[in-house]
Each structure stands twice: as C-alpha cells, then as structure tokens.
C-alpha cells in the first residue's frame, strides 16, 4: 500500500513538473531565460547608491555640510530597496550559471556576503532613520565607522563579482558552451 502510494505521488510530481517545465522559456546561449544578465545592472545601481552614501557622509563631515547627510540617507534607502531586487536576480542567475571548480566557492562567498550586505544595509538605514529623527544635522562617530565597514563590504562584493565574470566567465558564451560539452 505504501509503495503504491509513493509510486502514485512520484507519478503526479513527474507529470506536474513536465507540465510546468514546458511553460518555462528555453535557455539561450548564456544559459539564461532572458536576453542578458540582469543582476549586474541592478547591482551597479546598488554599488553607486551605497558608495555614494559613504562619500556624501564624508564630504558632509569634511566641508561641514550637514545637508549632505540627508542625501546620504536617501541613497541608503534606495540601495536597501534595490539590493533585494539584485539578490532575487542574482540567486536566479547563480542557479543557472553552472559554476565549476573554484568558481563554486567564490559564488558561494558572493551569495553569502550579498545576503549579509542586505541585512547590514537594512540595519544601517534603520539606524540612520532613527538617529536623524532626533538631530538630522549630526552624524555620530559610530556611524562613520559603520560607513567604512559598508564600503569595505561593497568593495569585496565588487571584487568577487568581477572574478566570477572576468576570470571564470560565468554566463559568457564560451564558458557556457564548454560546460554544456562537458569540458569544464
């Protein structure tokens, strides 16, 4: 009885998967269901907003322009929203990338730091929101230190992402062909 029930459930799952898999678009020569990678496009926006926030904080401190703290906060807010969009596309594209060799480890580090960076950005933005309610003209020394940590995390992510594309060639046509042919 148990065996026949399991066979029936397996039959249902296999048929359901085949029905839904026929609805999915075919993968192109870059192993993607869309024309090109989307994650880097969204991520460049996050990088610009996050590093821009740090720059505006330091320029505001150096030139005693506290209005730049508001610009920095807005950049952090946009970066916090955009990083979750970047993570969604990053996870989808990472799942389709067929990493090989050391690129697997680098992709895992990149994914882990990306999720961590989303949490860090969320906490920093929340902290900034609360602190600016009491005095928007002052930036705490602790926040300046956290700005440096944020910049270091973003630069680390940029380095790892560059390695995945420029050294290991994930989602490039020659590498995808080599993986499909079993050469990598």
Which residue is listed with tokens 């907003």? 49
pTM for this prediction: 0.83
| CB of 95 closer than 8 Å to CB of 142 | no
Separation in Å, CA 66 to CA 26, 61, 89, 124: 52, 7, 36, 18
- pLDDT more than 90, % of the chain: 74
For the chain, domain boundaries: 27-180
Q: What is the pLDDT of residues 61-83, one digit of tens each?
A: 999 999 999 999 999 999 999 99
| CB of 58 closer than 8 Å to CB of 147 | yes
Q: What is the pLDDT of residues 30-48, one digit of tens each?
A: 989 989 999 999 999 999 9
Among residues 171, 62, 153, 59, the alpha carbon closest in space to that of 112 is found at 153
């Amino acid at each position: 009885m148990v065996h026949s029930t399991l066979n029936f459930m397996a039959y249902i799952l296999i048929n359901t998967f085949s029905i839904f898999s026929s609805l999915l678009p075919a993968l192109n020569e870059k192993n993607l269901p869309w024309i090109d990678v989307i994650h880097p496009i969204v991520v460049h926006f996050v990088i610009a907003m996050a590093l821009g926030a740090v720059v505006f904080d330091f320029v505001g401190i150096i030139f005693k322009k506290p209005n730049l703290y508001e610009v920095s906060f807005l950049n952090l807010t946009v970066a916090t929203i955009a990083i979750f969009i970047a993570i969604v596309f990053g996870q989808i594209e990472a799942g389709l990338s067929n990493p090989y060799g050391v690129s697997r480890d680098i992709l895992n580090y990149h994914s882990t730091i990306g999720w961590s960076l989303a949490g860090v950005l969320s906490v920093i933005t929340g902290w900034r929101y609360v602190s600016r309610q009491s005095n928007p003209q002052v930036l705490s020394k602790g926040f300046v230190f956290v700005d440096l940590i944020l910049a270091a995390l973003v630069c680390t992510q940029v380095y790892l992402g560059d390695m995945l594309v420029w050294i290991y060639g994930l989602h490039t046509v020659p590498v995808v062909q080599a993986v499909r042919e079993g050469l990598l």
